[in-house]
Chains A and B, each alone.
Chain A
Amino acid sequence: MIPQLVTYHQRRRDGRWLRLYVPVVPVALLLSPLLLVAGLAGLVACLVFRVSPVGALRGTAQVLWALPGSRFEIEQGRTAVLVSVR
């Protein structure tokens, strides 16, 4: 399953929370023209550095598929950041 929702929470120094919920699929659709360009740049990079484009695509897909469930929580003093992928 690809990531559905990326959550970003940040507690500022004044104690207020910034909460961002990023729905991955709609945002990816919105950015699809940019993703196409990035894909082409990746293909060129693979050819330049003699890396198998199919292998690179498969590896990237595996990383993307394995991302859901990741959670990073860092808190120091009054500042805190939480990134969660679901």
Chain B
Amino acid sequence: MSEKEEGRPVNEQRRQILEMLGEGKITADEAERLINAVEREQPESPPGAAPRAKTRPKYLRVVVHSEDDFNGPSRVNVRVPLQLLRAGVRLTSLIPPQALTEVNAKLNKSGVPIDLTQLKPQHIEELIEQLDDVTVDVDDPDTKVQVFCE
């Protein structure tokens, strides 16, 4: 983004993006990403003030674009709040031990030797905490996959 644009108020930039969306120049997905970028580039505090801590990502995004000759192009765009992942992880602590044993046996049978009884909620919590910095980009001639936090 140019210096001139950076100097503009965020509301004006956001309105311009929405106008471009209304005119059909960009897609809703692109508009969302642009607005996020504008908000990220907004000065955190007035000059001279102490810098604020970097805002933490709130969502996990999975974007898949695929070109299939048979079924036509396909697109998947999933946005999941990280808080939902944490809540889901806490639910796993409610799984009865006998169910975990059965799942372990089935996983072993399927060639995935993972012992779920060793997987503690706090370990998965730590994993989710570190998800903030994860970015996965897979580029294939027909398929593009992106996993990132925003």
Partners in one complex: yes
A: residues with CB less than 8 A from B are 49-52, 55-56, 59-60, 62-63, 65-78
Q: Do B84 and A70 touch across chains, with their CB atoms under 8 A apart?
A: yes
CA–CA, A72 and B84, complex, Å: 14
Q: Mark out the residues of chain B between 58 and 95 whose CB falls within 8 Å of any chain A CB in the assembled complex.
A: 58-59, 71-81, 83-84, 86-88, 90-91, 93-94
Q: Do B76 and A74 touch across chains, with their CB atoms under 8 A apart?
A: yes
Q: Do A66 and B81 touch across chains, with their CB atoms under 8 A apart?
A: yes
Checking A52, A71, A72, A75 against B74 with a beta-carbon cut-off of 8 angstroms, the contacting residue is: A75
CB distance from A3 to the nearest CB of B (A): 11
Nearest chain-A residue to B86 (Cβ)? A66
Interface size on B, residues (CB 8 A): 24
Query: What is the interface of chain B mostly: helix, strand, loop, or mixed?
Result: mixed
CA–CA, A49 and B95, complex, Å: 9
CB distance from B134 to the nearest CB of A (A): 19
Checking B75, B76, B77, B87 against A65 with a beta-carbon cut-off of 8 angstroms, the contacting residue is: B87
Q: Does B96 contact A (CB under 8 A)?
A: yes
B contact residues around A65 at 8 Å (CB):
83, 87
Selected A-B contacts with CB under 8 Å, 12 pairs? A52-B94, A55-B93, A62-B90, A63-B88, A66-B87, A70-B79, A70-B80, A70-B81, A70-B84, A72-B78, A73-B77, A74-B74
CB distance from B120 to the nearest CB of A (A): 15
A contact residues around B84 at 8 Å (CB):
63, 66-67, 70
CA–CA, A9 and B83, complex, Å: 25
B contact residues around A52 at 8 Å (CB):
94
CA–CA, A52 and B77, complex, Å: 36
CB distance from A59 to the nearest CB of B (A): 4
